[in-house]
Structure 1
Amino acid sequence: MKKTFVRRGHFPASASRPVVSPLQPSVVYASDSPDMLDDQYDGITPGFVYSREGHANATALATLIDGLEGAEGGIVVSSGMAAVTAVMLGLLKAGDHVVGGSQLYGRSLRMLADDLPRFGIETSLADSTDADAMAQAIRPNTKLILVEVVSNPTIRVADMEGIAALCKENDTLLAVDNTFTTPRGYSPFDNGADIIIHSVTKLLAGHSDAMLGYVAAKDPAHSEQLDGIIATLGLTASPFDCWLAERGLYTFDLRYERACQNAKTLADHIADHPMIKRVIYPTRPDHPDHNRAQFLLNGQGGNMLSFEIDGGRNVANAFVKGCENLAFAPTLGDINTTISHPASSSHRALTEDQRLRMGVQEGFFRLSVGVEDINLLQGEIIQGLNAAKATS
C-alpha cells in the first residue's frame, strides 16, 4: 500500500558532525510548548522562532565578523544599505541631526539628502578629512556622525582621530562604515567608534554572489534598538547568502593580502602612462592624505584604487571596452578586478556640479583590485589606457 507523506520528517541523526556549517533555509522553527516559546522570546532558552527575527546562518556569520571586529552581538542584514538604514531609523528620531562625510557612498549621500529629512531627521554634510569642518557642522541636536575611513570612490582618508575626539566632546555617536578598510585595515571600536557598518557583499564575502550587510554597536542598549528595527522593517538576511558569505570569509585574510599587494603595484605601474591625469592610492607619496593613511591603515593601502584619465565620455567608453577581459560593474571586493565609473553608476543621482566638487569627472574610474596574476592585470589595464589614447 502506498503511503501519503503529509508530515515533514526529521533530519537524520549522526554521531559525527558536519565540517561545513549546515544551510538552514527554514522560515520558522517549532517549539515544544508555549512555555518554551516564552523562554525563547525572553532570552532564557537560546534558539530561533521566526527567521525575520534571526536565524542560525545569520548568527553564525555575525559571530565570525564579531571576532574580526572585536564586537559582540553584531547583526547580519540584507545589504550594506540595510545596515545604514538600521542605524539611521533605529537610533535616530524626528528632530535629531546627523552629520555625514561629504564623500560617502552615493546611496548613503542620497539617504541623508533626500530620505531622512522626510522623516524629520535633519542632516548636514562635511569634509571628513577635516575635523574642523566636521565640528562646524555640529548642532545642539546632533546625535550621530557617519563616516567612511576611506571614501568611496575618491579614496580620501578621514581624520578619524579628530572626529572621534569631536564625538566624545559633544556626546555624539560615531558610526563608521568600515567596508573599504575592512577589519584588517582599521579597528573602529579601538579608535572611538560606537557603531560599525559593513557591506559584507564586498571584501568579506568576496565572490559577488551574496548580498549582505553587518552592523554592530558597542552599547548593548543600542544593539537592542538595532535588533528591533531590523526585525520590524524586515531587513533580514537570506540564509543562503549568509552561508555563502561564511564560506567566503574563511579566505578573507588571503584575498585581502593579495589584493592589497596587487593594488599597490598596479597604482605605481600605471601612474606614468600618458593618459593618466592622477592616481589615487593611499600608500603613494602623492596621495593628499598619505601620512594619515600610513598611521591609520597600518601601512596598508587596501584593494581600492582610483584614477582619472584625460578625456570625456567617449574616452571613458574606449577605456572600458579596451579592458575587454575585466568586468565593468558597479561593485567591489570580488576575487576578480572590477571597473566602476562613478559618474554613470554609484554617483549618477548627483548633479554634475556635485560630482565635480567631489572630483568625480567623466574620466574618473575606480578599480576594485582582485587576486589575479599581477602581470596579467597590468597588461589588461594598459591595453584599456592605450585604447583610450587612440580615441582622444
Structure 2
Amino acid sequence: MTETPKNQPNSLARRPKWPTSTSRPVVTPLQPSVVYASPDPDALDAQYDEGSGFTYAREGHPNASVLAQKIDGLEGMSGGIITGSGMSAIGAVFLGVLQAGDHVIGGDQLYGRTLRLMADDLPKFGVQTSLADPTDANAIAAAIQPNTKMIVVEVVSNPTIRIADMDGIAKLCADRGILLMVDNTFTTPRGYQPFDHGADIVIHSVTKLLAGHSDATLGYVVAKDPSLMEKINIANVTWGLTPSPFDCWLAERGLQSFDLRYDRAEATAIELSAALAGLPGVTRVLHPSRPDHPDHNRAAKILGNRPGNMMSFEVAGGRKAANALTNAAPDLPFAPTLGDVGTTLSHPASSSHRALSEAGRTALGISEGFFRVSVGLEDPALLIAELTEAIAESQKA
C-alpha cells in the first residue's frame, strides 16, 4: 500500500464547500453537475420516496426544473418536464402512454418527423396509426377505431399553416374517452391555451419560439392528469431523453423576452403576408390573418387576434425558381428551423417533408416552389424589400 506523502494534502480534504450568502443571484445559476451527493443511505432512500431533490442528472437537474416551472406558468399547468428536443417530448408521451394494440390518430399535416415516427416507428412496437385531416372533425371521427387511445394534432399545421378544428376534435375526445395531445409549438401559449380547450397533453419544441435564439435544443411536455404525467416522466428518465443544463439555462434566458419577440414577429408577419400576396409569380400566401386563408374564419374563432409569426408562400417555377430565390436572398438564412430572432426560410420539400413521396407532398399542398417563413425581428420594410427582390429573381429563372 502506497502512503500519501506527508507534505502532499489529501485531495478529498481539498474539496471546497459551496459558498453561502445572505443575498441571492439575480440570474439563475448554471448547474452542470451530473451527480448529487447525499449524506447517507437513509437520506437517499427518503429522497427517492418523496421525489424531492436531485440525485442523477438523467432523473432531473435544477436548470431543467426552473425552465419547466416557467413554461408551466405559461400553459397554466404544473408538473411539466423538459426533454432533450421537441421530438423527444413526443417520444416520451408515446413511450409512456401507449402500448401494443393501441391505435393513434395523427393530423395528416403534422411536422414531417412526427409523421415519420407514426408511420415507421410506432408500428414496430405494435401500435397502430392512422392519419386524417385535422381541419375536419368528421374526418377524424371516421378514423376512430375501438382501440383508439390518442389523437395528436397541431393547432396550426407545419408547414401548411392550416387550422385544426380544435373544438370538434376536443369534443370527440371527451365523448369517447380518447386522449388529446396538442403540439403547441407554432401557436405557443401566447397564441393558444390548449388546456382551456380540452387538451390532455401539451408538448413544445422549446428550441423554437420559446427559447428563440437557435442555440438550445429542448422539448417540454405536461399532462393534465398527474398519474399520466408520472408515466411520461418515467419513460423520459428510462429512455434517457435528458436535456442539457446549459441548454436549459440558455432557454430560460431566451424566455425572458418571449412575449416581446412574439408580438413583434407576429405584427411583421401580418404586414409581410399582405405585401407578398400581390407580387407577380406568387401563387399562394398562407397566414391566418388573411381573408383568403382557407381556414380564416376558424382561425379568427380559435386564435382571435393572435395569428402568429409563421407563414408560407408559393412561387411559380418549381425547384429552379426555389434555388434562385434563396440564392437571391443571402441575408435571409435558408435553414430548416423556426423561432429565431431573425427571419428564416425553409423549403419543406427538401427538409422537413423530404421523406414523403412527391405525391404525398402534393396531397398536402407542398410543391417545389413552397416556402415556410419564420418571421423574426427585422425591420418589416427591409424584410419586404429583400423578399420582393428575391421573388422577382426567382421568376427570371
Query: How far apart are the structure 2 equivalents of 1:11 and 1:98?
Result: 49
What's the CA shift string for 1:18-53, capped at 9, x where partnerless? Answer: 000000000010111111111110116x31011100
Q: Is 2:58 the partner of 1:75?
A: no
Instruction: Give the one of 31, 35, 49 matched to 1:28.
Output: 35
Is contact 2:317-2:395 (8 Å) kept? no
Larger radius of gyration: 2
Distance 2:196 2:9 in 1: 61
Counterpart of 1:24, as a letter, is Q
Are residue 213 (structure 1) and residue 213 (structure 2) matched? Answer: no
Answer whether contact 2:162 2:295 (CA < 8 A) is retained.
yes
TM-score of the aligned structures, taking structure 2 as reference length: 0.97
Q: From 12, 19, 35, give the equivalent of 2:19.
A: 12
Tell whether 2:104 aligns with 1:98. yes
Note the residue ranges of structure 2 that are not aligned, 5 or more in a row. Answer: 1-6
Aligned length: 390
Equivalence for 2:170: 164
Equivalent residue number for residue 310 of structure 1: 316
Other-structure match for 2:4:
none
- Partner of residue 363, structure 1: 369
TM-score (norm 1): 0.98
Which residues in structure 2 correspond to 1:169-318 (within 5 Å)? 169-318=175-324
CA distance in 1 between counterparts of 2:16 and 2:209 reads: 38
User: Paired residue for 2:161?
Assistant: 155
What one-letter code is carried by the residue in structure 1 that aligns with 2:91?
A: T
Residue 39 of structure 1 corresponds to 46
1:320 aligns with 2:319: no
1:353 is matched with 359
Q: Deviations over 1:48-76 (max 9, x none)?
A: 01110011000000000000001110000
| Gaps in structure 1 of 5+ consecutive residues | none
C-alpha distance in structure 1 between counterparts of 2:349 and 2:249, whole Å: 34
> Which shifted more, 297-306 or 337-346?
297-306
2:3 aligned residue: none
Return the match for 1:89 from 89, 95, 118. Answer: 95
Is 1:386 aligned with 2:375? no
1:11, distance to aligned residue in structure 2 (A): 2.1
* Offset, 1:8: 3.0
Q: Deviations over 1:133-183 (max 9, x none)?
A: 000000000000000000000000000000000001110000000000000
**TM superposition shift of 1:389:** 1.7
Work out which of the residue numbers 337, 345, 348 in structure 2 matches 1:342.
Answer: 348
Identity of aligned residues (%): 63
DSSP-derived class of the 2:37 partner: coil
Structure 2 CA distance for aligned equivalents of residues 8 and 26 of structure 1: 15
How far has the Cα of 1:5 moved from its partner? 4.2
CA distance in 2, matches of 1:17, 1:92: 43
Equivalent residue of 1:328, what SS?
coil
1:299 CA displacement: 1.6
Q: How far apart are residue 10 of structure 1 and its match?
A: 1.9
Equivalent position of 2:133 in the other structure: 127
Cα distance in 2 for residues equivalent to 1:357 and 1:338: 25
Q: Give the Cα separation in 2 of the matches to 1:294 and 1:8.
A: 60
SS at match of 2:270: helix
What secondary structure is seen at the aligned counterpart in 2 of 1:42?
helix
Letter in 1 for 2:43: M
SS in 1 for 2:386: helix
Q: Give the ranges of 4+ consecutive aligned residues of structure 1 lying more than 2 Å apart after TM superposition.
A: 1-8
3-state SS of paired residue (2:153): strand
Following TM superposition, by how much is the alpha carbon of 1:275 offset from its aligned partner in structure 2, in angstroms? 1.4
How many Å apart are 1:3 and its aligned residue? 4.7
- Tell me the residue number matched to 2:65: 59
Would the aligned equivalents of 2:325 and 2:393 in 1 still touch at CA under 8 Å?
Answer: yes
Q: Distance in 1 between matches of 2:66 and 2:83?
A: 13
